[in-house]
Amino acid sequence: MGNRGQRVSPKDQRLNAVTAAFAGLKKDLGDKTAYMRDIFCLDNEFSITGCVAERKPGDLIKYQIKISGQDNKLNVSFANIESIGSEIMQYSDTEIEALPRFDPQKIADKLKTQIERSLASSGTYDNAKKAFLANNSFLELAFIPVTKVMMDEFVATIFTDDQLSLNTAILDVKKNDKAEFSDYTTAISAGLYAGASGSSAFAFITLYTNDTSLARLRQYENTTLSGKLVRMENGVSNKPLFIMTY
């Protein structure tokens, strides 16, 4: 299963399937507060926190979901179950009334069904992978636990497509002066940002291209950059730098 007949790592499959399942079920888990907190794709471990439900009438709780996988077995467990506290202020009375009952087995079954659905066909899986790569919040989480020793394995696991499309903010566009990429006229520098305006980039891109339309990109313009990943290097402040061509 995978793009253009390429072999896709089982870790890559599960990563995209889990994040797609979370996105598809976020309303059931608590749309205002639920978020993906941990992604460690090399060990197939994920966690979702800030989930909310009604344990019994008048007893609203928040909880964490932990998802792990080994071979073909998927495990879903629940932790940090406690009263919701002040986070309830983010929900209106109507939204509170619509909160689901806390049923761990039902929640686990829904997640597993969504994950299996994402893996059921190449088309569904490809859409899940595109959605993951387009979500900088997920990408940042995936990079966080990866050490320099793990980076080659991480890149080989996640960035397997012939072409990558990443959401970026343009930092600079200049004439290419790198001999290694002498076939390309233009070098585009960009950052990947997961937070609000003013936050720092968690990764960077240098894209070498002959596309004249890309040469007209403006500084700080938000755009999707696509290309073939040549390699990953250390960028500014030792943050990951995608070296790409298009």
Strands 203-209 and 240-245: parallel
For residues 211 and 208, what is the distance between their CA atoms, to the nearest angstrom? 9
pTM listed for this prediction: 0.83
* Residue 239 belongs to domain spanning: 163-245
Q: Residue 131 pLDDT > 50, yes or no?
A: yes
Higher-confidence position of 8 and 153: 153
Instruction: Decide if 148 is inside a domain.
Output: no
Q: Structure tokens of 112?
A: 């597993």
Same domain, 133 and 167: no
Clarify whether residues 33 and 134 are in a common domain. yes
129 and 14 in a single domain? The answer is: yes
* Closest C-alpha to 36, from 163, 175, 194, 149: 194
Residue 184 lies in a domain: yes
Statement: residue 41 has pLDDT above 50:
yes
Asked whether the predicted pLDDT for residue 123 surpasses 50, the reply is yes
In this structure, are 92 and 213 located in the same domain? Answer: no
